[in-house]
Amino acid sequence: MRVAVIGGGAAGFFSALAVKDNHPDAEVFILEKSPKLLSKVKVSGGGRCNVTNGNTSIKDLVKAYPRGAKLLKKGFQVFKTNDTMQWFEDRGVSLVIQEDDCVFPVSQNSQTIIDCFLTESRRLGINIMTKAGVDKIVVVDNKLKLIFTKEPSIDNTFDKVIVATGGSPRRQGLDWLEDLGHQIVSPVPSLFTFNMPSESVRDLMGVVVENVLVTIPGTKLKADGPLLITHWGMSGPAILKLSAFGARVLSERNYQFEVLVNWVAEQNQELVSNVLKEITKDHPKKQIVNYRPFGLPVRLWHYLLHKCGLPLDKTWQDLGKKGLNRMVAILTNDQYQASGKTTFKEEFVTCGGVSLESIHPLTMESRVVKNLYFTGEVMDIDGITGGYNFQAAWTTGFIAGKLS
Ligand SMILES: Cc1cc2nc3c(=O)[nH]c(=O)nc-3n(C[C@H](O)[C@H](O)[C@H](O)COP(=O)(O)OP(=O)(O)OC[C@H]3O[C@@H](n4cnc5c(N)ncnc54)[C@H](O)[C@@H]3O)c2cc1C
Q: What is the CATH number of the domain that holds 50?
A: 3.50.50.60
User: How far away, in angstroms, is 341 Cα from ligand 1 center?
Assistant: 21
| Across 1-19, average pLDDT | 98
pLDDT score at 153: 76
Phi, psi for 176 (deg, rounded to 5): -65, -25
Count up the domains in the chain and report the number.
Answer: 2
* 3-state SS string for the chain: CEEEEECCCHHHHHHHHHHHHHCCCCEEEEECCCCCCCHHHHHHHHHCCCCEECCCCHHHHHHHCCECHHHHHHHHCCCCHHHHHHHHHHCCCCEEECCCCEEEECCCCCHHHHHHHHHHHHHHCCEEECCCCEEEEEEECCEEEEEECCCCCCCCEECEEEECCCCCCCHHHHHHHHCCCCCEEEEEEECEEEECCCCHHHHHCCCEEEEEEEECCCCCCEEEEEEEECCCEEECHHHHHHHHHCHHHHHHCCCEEEEEEECCCCCCHHHHHHHHHHHHHHCCCCEHHHCCHHHCCHHHHHHHHHHCCCCCCCEHHHCHHHHHHHHHHHHHCEEEEEECEEECCCCCEEEEEECHHHECCCCCEECCCCCEEECHHHECCECCCCCHHHHHHHHHHHHHCCCC
User: How far away, in angstroms, is 327 Cα from ligand 1 center?
Assistant: 45
- Closest alpha carbon to 233 in 243, 225, 224, 223: 243
pLDDT score at 336: 98
Final residue in a domain of this structure, among 302, 321, 343: 343
Residues 73 and 34 in one domain: yes
Residues 113 and 222 in one domain: no
Q: Name which residue sits closest to atom 19 of ligand 1, judged by CA.
A: 389
Final residue in a domain of this structure, among 343, 358, 375: 343
User: How far away, in angstroms, is 137 Cα from ligand 1 center?
Assistant: 21
Residues 256 and 180 in one domain: no
Ligand 1 pocket test, pick from 6, 13, 15, 165 with the greatest ligand atom count within 8 Å of Cβ, gives 165
Residues 203 and 322 in one domain: yes
Q: Is the CB of 233 under 6 A from ligand 1?
A: no
Quick: pLDDT tens for 202-228. Answer: 999 999 999 999 999 999 999 999 999
Final residue in a domain of this structure, among 343, 364, 380: 343
Residues 163 and 110 in one domain: yes
pLDDT score at 52: 98
pLDDT score at 344: 87
Residues 199 and 75 in one domain: no
Atom of ligand 1 nearest to the CA of 135: 41
Atom of ligand 1 nearest to the CA of 37: 49
Question: What domain range is 396 assigned to?
Answer: 2-188+347-400
Radius of gyration of the chain (CA): 25
The answer to whether residue 251 scores a pLDDT higher than 90 is: yes
The model's pTM is 0.95
Residues 14 and 78 in one domain: yes
Q: For all residues of the chain together, what is the average pLDDT?
A: 97
User: How far away, in angstroms, is 39 Cα from ligand 1 center?
Assistant: 7
Residues 241 and 297 in one domain: yes
Atom of ligand 1 nearest to the CA of 38: 49
Residues 164 and 199 in one domain: no
| Across 23-51, average pLDDT | 97
The 10 Å Cβ neighbour count of residue 103 is 24
The answer to whether residue 34 scores a pLDDT higher than 90 is: yes
User: How far away, in angstroms, is 209 Cα from ligand 1 center?
Assistant: 31
Can you tell me the distance from the alpha carbon of 186 to that of 170, in angstroms, rounded to the nearest whole number? Answer: 8
pLDDT score at 238: 97
Ligand 1 pocket test, pick from 17, 154, 347 with the greatest ligand atom count within 8 Å of Cβ, gives 347
The confidence band for 386, taking pLDDT boundaries of 50, 70 and 90, is very high
pLDDT score at 150: 86
Q: Is the CB of 108 under 6 A from ligand 1?
A: no
Quick: pLDDT tens for 49-87. Answer: 999 999 999 999 999 999 999 999 999 999 999 999 999
The confidence band for 122, taking pLDDT boundaries of 50, 70 and 90, is very high
Residues 141 and 221 in one domain: no
What percent of the chain stands above pLDDT 90? 97
Ligand 1 pocket test, pick from 85, 389, 394, 398 with the greatest ligand atom count within 8 Å of Cβ, gives 389
Residues 377 and 330 in one domain: no
User: How far away, in angstroms, is 14 Cα from ligand 1 center?
Assistant: 12
User: How far away, in angstroms, is 123 Cα from ligand 1 center?
Assistant: 23
User: How far away, in angstroms, is 162 Cα from ligand 1 center?
Assistant: 15
User: How far away, in angstroms, is 170 Cα from ligand 1 center?
Assistant: 15
Angle at 345 between CA 94 and CA 379, to 5 degrees: 75
Quick: pLDDT tens for 164-197. Answer: 999 999 999 999 999 999 999 999 999 999 999 9
Q: Is the CB of 349 under 6 A from ligand 1?
A: yes
| Across 265-277, average pLDDT | 95
Residues 262 and 394 in one domain: no
Quick: pLDDT tens for 296-353. Answer: 999 999 999 999 999 999 999 999 999 999 999 999 999 999 999 999 888 899 999 9
The answer to whether residue 151 scores a pLDDT higher than 90 is: no
| Across 138-151, average pLDDT | 92
